[in-house]
Structure 1
Amino acid sequence: MTTQQGELVEQGDEVTLFVARRVEPGYETAFELWAKNILAAASAHEGNLGTGLLRPAGPDTPWHLMLHFRDGDAFRSWQDSPARAACFARADGHHHEVHRHEILGMEGWFATTPGAAQRRPPVRWKMAVASTVAIAPLTVAAAVLLTPHLAGLPVAVRPLVTAPLISGLMTYAALPAVTRLLRRWLFPADS
């Protein structure tokens, strides 16, 4: 199977789909109901591993939907499903997709440098070790620096503040640095 970005999805690859949709002002409530319905349909679909909805960070910013599937077959099955088609048939036309990104397994995390994007991904246990090396300092820093300032927020809201920050730093700073640092270990064929 090939994703919309032309990436080859192997049989065992997990697929995570991120979709950003811009909603016309005044139609936010209708969109949220539509989004919850399509995510519920996706959740009930065979092979779905989870879904999520992130409300916009501010005015004129998009809503984000996340759908995670166990493999390419489950992802393709959802894309072609009558349930998905029915949800889009009920869309009111007051929202549209502005961005779509499909990530395959953990491999997407290791294509954050130009050199790594051209290599065969490392074995999964090495990816797990490298991810831990990258995320551990970020998690500790967030606990020490951010948590005291978030004490007034409900417990369920705190991760909504820290997770995007840690994820962004992980994606754009920590993992590229760790990948460069551990390059010879992660990609021994290049040595």
Structure 2
Amino acid sequence: MAMTAQETATEQGDEVTLFVARRVESGYEEAFEAWAKNILAAACAHEGNLVTGLLRPAGPGEPWHLLLHFRDAGAFRAWQASPARAACFEKADGHHHEVHRHEILGMEGWFATTPGAAQRRPPVRWRMAVASTIAIAPLVVASAVLIAPYLAGLPVPVRPLVTAPLISGLMTYAALPLVTRWLRRWLFPADK
């Protein structure tokens, strides 16, 4: 019997990324966006959530995409069963519905920055490691050159507490999506 993504993540201790596509009835886009922002804010406040995101439709009539990234399968399951999530769905107006759901494990979730990438088979791990290195190396160098001199007076264990969130945010929202686009054909050779 095949294991679900959650069961595999539990065994491996991997992070879990949930990528959900929802189709919204015409004329209800503004109400949906408000609902989506509320449920993503609730997810952000949930223990074990690492990041959320909302991707607007590629064109008229196309689905909206919600991205929720959790520390592990336990945090993901707790969110799925949470009263906060249930309350958000109780407030849903019925003018949108789920058309696709995809759970992604571990590092693969970092590469699901577009609807198309979330629906593909993840890149092999060594290619993900190369792409991640290409994305993070300039951030680490820039941090060492531009920020580290100003942190010299801080104790050594405190310095990473300042730079790590900055590097992580830039990696998640800027560098990795950019590198993934640049290396798309190499990361996802089946798309050629």
Aligned to 2:105: 104
Q: Contact 2:51–2:69 (CA<8 Å) still a contact in 1?
A: yes
In 1, Cα distance between equivalents of 2:39 and 2:9: 23
1:33 partner SS: helix
Q: Which amino acid aligns with 1:8?
A: T
In 1, Cα distance between equivalents of 2:47 and 2:122: 31
Aligned to 2:187: 175
Give the deviation of 1:9 after TM superposition. 1.7
Give the deviation of 1:33 after TM superposition. 0.6
Change in 2 beyond 3 A, CA 1:78/1:176: same
Aligned to 2:166: none
TM-score of the superposed pair, with normalisation by structure 1: 0.61
Asked whether 1:34 is paired with 2:46, we answer no
Asked whether 1:14 is paired with 2:15, we answer yes
Q: Which amino acid aligns with 1:19?
A: V
RMSD value, Cα: 3.2
Any runs of at least 4 consecutive aligned residues in structure 1 with deviations exceeding 6 A, and if so which?
Answer: 133-136
Change in 2 beyond 3 A, CA 1:132/1:167: closer
Aligned to 2:131: 131
Give the deviation of 1:174 after TM superposition. 1.4
Change in 2 beyond 3 A, CA 1:60/1:16: same
Identity of aligned residues (%): 63
Equivalent runs, 1:87-98 vs 2, <5 Å: 87-98=88-99
Aligned to 2:48: 47
Q: Which amino acid aligns with 1:93?
A: G
5+ long unaligned stretches in structure 1: 117-121, 137-158, 178-191
Q: How many correspondences in the alignment?
A: 140
Aligned to 2:115: none
In 2, Cα distance between equivalents of 1:27 and 1:176: 35
Higher helix residue share = 2
Give the deviation of 1:131 after TM superposition. 3.0
In 1, Cα distance between equivalents of 2:6 and 2:75: 17
Give the deviation of 1:130 after TM superposition. 3.1
Deviations 1:120-152 (A, max 9, x none): xx6xxx56643347879xxxxxxxxxxxxxxxx
Change in 2 beyond 3 A, CA 1:16/1:170: farther
Deviations 1:32-80 (A, max 9, x none): 1100100000000000001111111210111010001011100000001
Change in 2 beyond 3 A, CA 1:59/1:107: closer
